[in-house]
A and B are shown apart, each in its own frame.
Chain A
Amino acid sequence: MRHLIRYVFEPGFFGSGPVHVALAVGTVIAVTSAVVGVFTVTRGQSFAGHSLADIATTGGSGAFLIGVNQFWGYLAFGAGAAAFMEMIGIQRRRGRDVTTGVVLGAALGLAALFLYLGTQYSSTTGASFTILFGSMFVLTSSTIPALVGSALLALATVVVLARVLLLSSLSPDIAAARGVPVRAVGAAYLMALAVSVALSAVIIGAVLSTALLIGPAATALRVAKGPVRAMLTAACIGVVATWLGIVLAYDSFYWPPAGRGWPVSFFVVTLIAGCYLVSYLRPRRENSEAPAETPDAGQVCSPA
C-alpha cells in the first residue's frame, strides 16, 4: 500500500508550495465552473461559453503584452464580450452564427499577434503556452485572492439565481408571466459565465477553458436526474479531474522527456472527456426509482 502511495504521489508532492496553491485554487475554480456549467448546458449556451473563451484568449495575450497578469485580460475581455452579446440580443438569431464566426476568427488572430509581439519583447517563451493551455504551478500569489473571490462571487450568483434560471429554461414565458426579470437574469448569468471562463482559462488555458465548464456538467446531466444532484455531481467530477490532473502532471516530471512535466491541462481535459465517454457506457434509465451505479469518479462522491 505504502509503495502504491509512494508510486502515485511522487516524493515532495505534499511538501510543495505551488502544489498546495494549485490544489486549493483548482478546487474552488473547478467547483465554480462545474456548477455554472450545469446551467450553461441546460440553457443551451455552450457555444456562448466557447465564444467567450476565444475572446478571453485575446484579452489574456493582450494583458501579457502590456505586462498585466493574464487573469485580468481574460476577465476584462470575457465580461466585455458578454455585455456585447447581451446587447445585440439573443433574439437576433439570423446571421448571428456567421457574425460570431468572423468575430471569433478575428479575436484569435489578434491573440496570435499579441503573443508574437509579447514574446519578441520579453524572452519568456513559455508565456504563449501558459495563455493558450494554462499553467497551475505558476499562479502568481498576488492574484490568488482575486481568483478565489471572483470564483465565489460567480458561484454565489448562480446559486442565488438557480431556481429562476431553471424556470426560465423550462419556459421564459412562464417566468416572465410570474414577474421574473428574464432579460436581467440572463445578463447576470452570462456575466457569471464570463467570470468562470476567465477562471478556467487560468488553470487549463484560454483555449481549453470550456472543457472544465461543459465537460463535468454534461457528464453530470447524463447520470443525475435532479438539479441539486446534477450540480453536486458536476462539482465532484470537476474537482476530481483537477486533482488527478495535478497529481499526474507532478508525476510526469519523471516521464519522458525526463525533467519537463507534462501540462496539467492535458490530464484534466483527458480525464473529463474520459468521464463523459464512460457516462455513455450505461443505458439511460427509464423512470426507475433508484439511480444505478456508474463507474466514473464523479459518482463516487455524489450523495446517495
Chain B
Amino acid sequence: MPADLLRLDGVGVRLGGREILRDVSFTIRAGEFTGLIGPNGAGKTTLLRVILGLQPVTGGSVLIDGAPRAPRDASIGYVPQKLAIEPDMPLRVKDVVSLGLDGHKFGLRLPSRARRELVSDMLTAVGAQRYADARVGELSGGEQQRVMIAHALISRPRLLLLDEPLANLDISSEQGIVSVLARLARAERIAVLLSAHDMNPLMPVMDRIVYVASGRAAVGSTDEVVRPEVLSRLYGQHVDVIRVHGRVLVVAAPEGVDEVEAAAEDAGVVR
C-alpha cells in the first residue's frame, strides 16, 4: 500500500472559545479524488486552511508525506472560495497562471519562451486557452475557476485543494470543472480534495468522501458514509438520506419525530 500523501490525526480547532472542528482524522493518497462535503458553516474552509497551514490547530497533527508541512512547500495547490476579482485588476488570464509559478518570489523576472509555452499548455489542459489574453476580472465565474485551477496546478502540486469551486456555477460549468479535475487527477496522479455543500455533481468522480457536520467528520466511500445512521450521529439529530435517480438528498426530519428511532440507529440497530 502506498504511503499517505496527506494524513490528519485527531485535528481540533477552537476559535474564540467555540469548537470549530473536533477530532478530525483522514488520509489521502496520490491520485485520489476526495469530496469534502457538508452544510455551510460546518468547518470545511477551516479544515482546508488547517491543511494549508493558515489555521493553527488546537490539537492533533497534519502530515504531508509523513512530515509537517514546510513553509513555501509547492506540493499543495489551493483554489480559494469566492474570489472577488475586480474588472480593473491588471491581470490577464495568462498573467494569473504565470503567477502560479513564481508569484511568491521577489524581484523582476524576464519573459521567456519556455514559460509562455508552459502557461499556454496549462491553459489548454483546463480548457481556458480561448481567453488567455482577457482580463481575469471580466470572465464569468466558471471561466475564473478554470483559470484559478490552472494557476494552482502549474507549479505541479501533488495535492490540490479547492474550496467550494462549484458554488454559484451553472450546471454546464459545474460539469465542465468536475470533468477537468477528474481527468487531471487520473492523468497526473494529483490528489484532489474539493469542498462542496452539494455532493451530487461529484458522485461520478469521488473516490472517497469526508463528510463534515457540527465540527466532526465521517470518512469513507459514499456508500459507507452517506447513510442516515452515520449522518444522524454526525449532525446530532435525525436526518434522512433519500436517493433519487442516483442522486442523494440529505434532509433533516421534522422536529420531535423519530427521536427514539434515531437513538435506536445510534445504538447500531439497522432497520
Asked whether any CB of chain B lies closer than 8 Å to the CB of A278, the reply is no
B82-108 interface bits toward A, Cβ cutoff 8 Å, 1 = contact, 0 = none? 010111111110011001001111111
* Closest residue of A by beta carbon distance from B103: A167
Nearest CB of chain B from residue A71's CB, rounded to whole Å: 29
Asked whether any CB of chain B lies closer than 8 Å to the CB of A183, the reply is no
Partner of A225, one of B78, B80, B133: B133
Partner of B103, one of A166, A224, A225, A226: A166
* Closest residue of B by beta carbon distance from A288: B133
A26-65 interface bits toward B, Cβ cutoff 8 Å, 1 = contact, 0 = none? 0000000000001001101000000000000000000000
| Residue from A163, A166, A177, A225 having most chain B Cβ neighbours under 10 A | A177
Partner of A226, one of B53, B95, B102, B108: B95
Asked if A42 meets B131 with Cβ closer than 8 Å, knowing A167-B103, A178-B103, the reply is no
Q: Is the CB of A178 within 8 A of B72?
A: yes
Asked whether any CB of chain B lies closer than 8 Å to the CB of A287, the reply is yes
Asked whether any CB of chain A lies closer than 8 Å to the CB of B263, the reply is no
Nearest CB of chain B from residue A38's CB, rounded to whole Å: 7
Nearest CB of chain B from residue A177's CB, rounded to whole Å: 4
Q: Chain B contacts of A176 at CB under 8 A?
A: 54
Asked whether any CB of chain B lies closer than 8 Å to the CB of A152, the reply is no
Q: Is the CB of A170 within 8 A of B99?
A: yes
Q: Is the CB of A163 within 8 A of B106?
A: yes
Q: Is the CB of B103 within 8 A of A164?
A: yes
Asked whether any CB of chain A lies closer than 8 Å to the CB of B208, the reply is no
Q: Chain B contacts of A173 at CB under 8 A?
A: 49, 52, 54, 78, 80
Q: Chain B contacts of A222 at CB under 8 A?
A: 88
* Closest residue of B by beta carbon distance from A169: B89
What separation, in Å, do the CA atoms of A251 and B123 have in the docked complex?
A: 54
Q: Is the CB of B90 within 8 A of A221?
A: yes
What separation, in Å, do the CA atoms of A226 and B152 have in the docked complex?
A: 20
What separation, in Å, do the CA atoms of A230 and B102 have in the docked complex?
A: 20
Q: Is the CB of A225 within 8 A of B135?
A: yes
For residues 125 through 181 of chain B, which have their beta carbon under 8 Å from a beta carbon of chain A?
131, 133-135, 138, 151-152
What separation, in Å, do the CA atoms of A284 and B52 have in the docked complex?
A: 38
Asked if A170 meets B96 with Cβ closer than 8 Å, knowing A179-B71, A179-B104, A287-B134, the reply is yes
Asked whether any CB of chain B lies closer than 8 Å to the CB of A289, the reply is yes
Nearest CB of chain B from residue A233's CB, rounded to whole Å: 10
Asked whether any CB of chain A lies closer than 8 Å to the CB of B76, the reply is yes
Asked whether any CB of chain A lies closer than 8 Å to the CB of B109, the reply is yes
What separation, in Å, do the CA atoms of A38 and B102 have in the docked complex?
A: 20
What separation, in Å, do the CA atoms of A169 and B83 have in the docked complex?
A: 10
Asked whether any CB of chain B lies closer than 8 Å to the CB of A24, the reply is no
Q: Is the CB of B88 within 8 A of A174?
A: no
What separation, in Å, do the CA atoms of A44 and B86 have in the docked complex?
A: 10
For chain A, the bracket of interface size reads 35 or more
Asked whether any CB of chain B lies closer than 8 Å to the CB of A171, the reply is yes
Q: Chain A contacts of B152 at CB under 8 A?
A: 174
Asked whether any CB of chain B lies closer than 8 Å to the CB of A85, the reply is no
Q: Chain B contacts of A163 at CB under 8 A?
A: 99, 102-107, 109
Asked whether any CB of chain B lies closer than 8 Å to the CB of A186, the reply is no
Q: Chain A contacts of B103 at CB under 8 A?
A: 163-164, 166-167, 170, 174-175, 178
Partner of A221, one of B88, B95, B104: B88
Nearest CB of chain B from residue A153's CB, rounded to whole Å: 15
What separation, in Å, do the CA atoms of A173 and B46 have in the docked complex?
A: 12
Asked if A170 meets B83 with Cβ closer than 8 Å, knowing A179-B72, A287-B134, the reply is yes
Asked if A171 meets B83 with Cβ closer than 8 Å, knowing A159-B108, A163-B102, A225-B135, the reply is yes
| Residue from A163, A166, A175 having most chain B Cβ neighbours under 10 A | A163
* Closest residue of A by beta carbon distance from B53: A177
For residues 133 through 156 of chain A, which have their beta carbon under 8 Å from a beta carbon of chain B?
none
Asked whether any CB of chain B lies closer than 8 Å to the CB of A180, the reply is yes
Q: Chain A contacts of B92 at CB under 8 A?
A: 225-226
What separation, in Å, do the CA atoms of A40 and B53 have in the docked complex?
A: 29
| Residue from A38, A159, A222, A225 having most chain B Cβ neighbours under 10 A | A225
Asked whether any CB of chain B lies closer than 8 Å to the CB of A80, the reply is no
For residues 255 through 304 of chain A, which have their beta carbon under 8 Å from a beta carbon of chain B?
284, 286-287, 289
Q: Is the CB of B90 within 8 A of A174?
A: no
What separation, in Å, do the CA atoms of A250 and B106 have in the docked complex?
A: 42
What separation, in Å, do the CA atoms of A41 and B88 have in the docked complex?
A: 9
Nearest CB of chain B from residue A230's CB, rounded to whole Å: 4
Q: Is the CB of A170 within 8 A of B89?
A: yes
Given contacts A159-B108, A173-B52, A177-B76, 17 further A-B contacts (CB under 8 A): A163-B103, A163-B105, A163-B109, A164-B104, A166-B91, A169-B89, A170-B91, A173-B54, A173-B78, A174-B103, A177-B53, A178-B72, A178-B74, A178-B104, A225-B90, A229-B90, A284-B138
List the 4 shortest-distance A-B pairs measured between CB atoms, nearest first.
A179-B72, A167-B103, A178-B104, A230-B90
A-side residues, CB < 8 A to B, are 38, 41-42, 44, 159-164, 166-167, 169-171, 173-180, 218, 220-222, 224-227, 229-230, 284, 286-287, 289
Q: Could you show 13 A-B contacts with beta carbons less than 8 Å apart?
A: A42-B90, A160-B108, A170-B91, A170-B96, A174-B151, A177-B53, A177-B54, A178-B104, A225-B90, A225-B92, A284-B87, A287-B131, A287-B133
